[in-house]
Amino acid sequence: MTGVLLTVAYDGTEFSGWATQRDARTVEDALRGALLAVDPKAAGPRGSSRTDAGVHAEGQLAAFDASLPLPARGWVLALNQHLPDDVSVRAAQIVTPDYNPRFTSKKKRYRYRLLLDKVRDPLLRHRTWRIGYEMDLERLAREARAIVGTHDFKAFRSAGDERDVTTRTIHDVTVRRDGEDARCWSITIEGNAFLYNMVRILVGTLVDVARGHLPEGTIARALDEKDRARAGQTAPAHGLTLEHIDVDLPEEAGERWPP
């Protein structure tokens, strides 16, 4: 068997998330179907991040073991022939069998997109959270500084996350205009790992502070008190995109295609 690592992009609008679920359409199942169509003996995929229903990805990583000796280019082209239009294998490289990117992840980057508009825009409805009320973006940027560093993020996880260890390190948070459209802004958060709904709760809290619904210092107080009730709302899933995952690769890893 040969290990293969894929970079996968998808529009999460019509998916119930990454992970396989009974009676639901998931990205993992769509990718597995393509793998088995090309190589009936393939084992996997093993994803690196379990994105929620409606969340998008540009740089999801997934590994599998193959019995066919195809090069990286061959896997990209062959798998894309069997995937629906809302999923694409963007790149591949040969790795060792049983390689699992989930356990070698060093850093992940998420981008949350906001649309500041009084009126809904049908062209952006699946990729941005439309905010129709007044926002103080300088206030939002000041509040975001409290996220950076190593903290216990227990206050910023949903009830479905029951992990005992809730300390995470956030390396960087960036608030900027997203492209040339003055209505579009993005909040990019990069860290070593994330709790369930952590990014969406952080963004929802930042928005609540920016519109004056919560006072400045809310994030620092929620971190200190470790109380979910101190944080703000959970931002909708459709504004969130998993952009990039940095992993440790095996020494034997081949060249990525396309480069």
Q: How confident is the model at residue 89 (pLDDT cuts 50, 70, 90)?
A: very high
Structure confidence by residue, pLDDT tens digits, 113-154: 999 999 999 999 999 999 999 999 999 999 999 999 999 999
Q: What are the sequence ranges of the domains in the chain?
A: 2-103, 106-242
The residues assigned a catalytic role are 52
142-169 mean pLDDT: 95
224-244 mean pLDDT: 97
* DSSP structure string for 155-197: GGS-TT---S--EEEEEEEEEEE-SS-TTEEEEEEEES---TT
197-203 mean pLDDT: 98
Task: Please give the backbone phi and psi of residue 52, each rounded to the nearest 5 degrees, phi first.
Answer: -80, 170
Residues with Cβ within 8 Å of residue 29, at least 6 apart in sequence:
20
Residue 160 confidence (pLDDT) above 90:
no
Same fold, 2-103 and 106-242: yes
Q: How far is CA 218 from CA 147, 185, 221, in A?
A: 11, 21, 5
Nearest to 239 by CA among 96, 54, 61, 71: 54
215-228 mean pLDDT: 97
Query: What pTM value is reported for the model?
Result: 0.96
What sign does the dihedral 103-48-50-155 (CA atoms) show?
Answer: positive
Task: Please give the backbone phi and psi of residue 225, each rounded to the nearest 5 degrees, phi first.
Answer: -90, -15
Q: Does domain 2-103 have CATH number 3.40.50.920?
A: no
The vertex-213 CA angle with 117 and 171, nearest 5°, equals 80
Residue 258, burial from CB neighbour count under 10 angstroms (0-12, 13-18, 19+): exposed
Residue range 106-242 forms a domain whose CATH class is alpha beta
SS3 for 28? helix
Q: How far is CA 107 from CA 127, 149, 174, 242, in A?
A: 23, 14, 16, 12
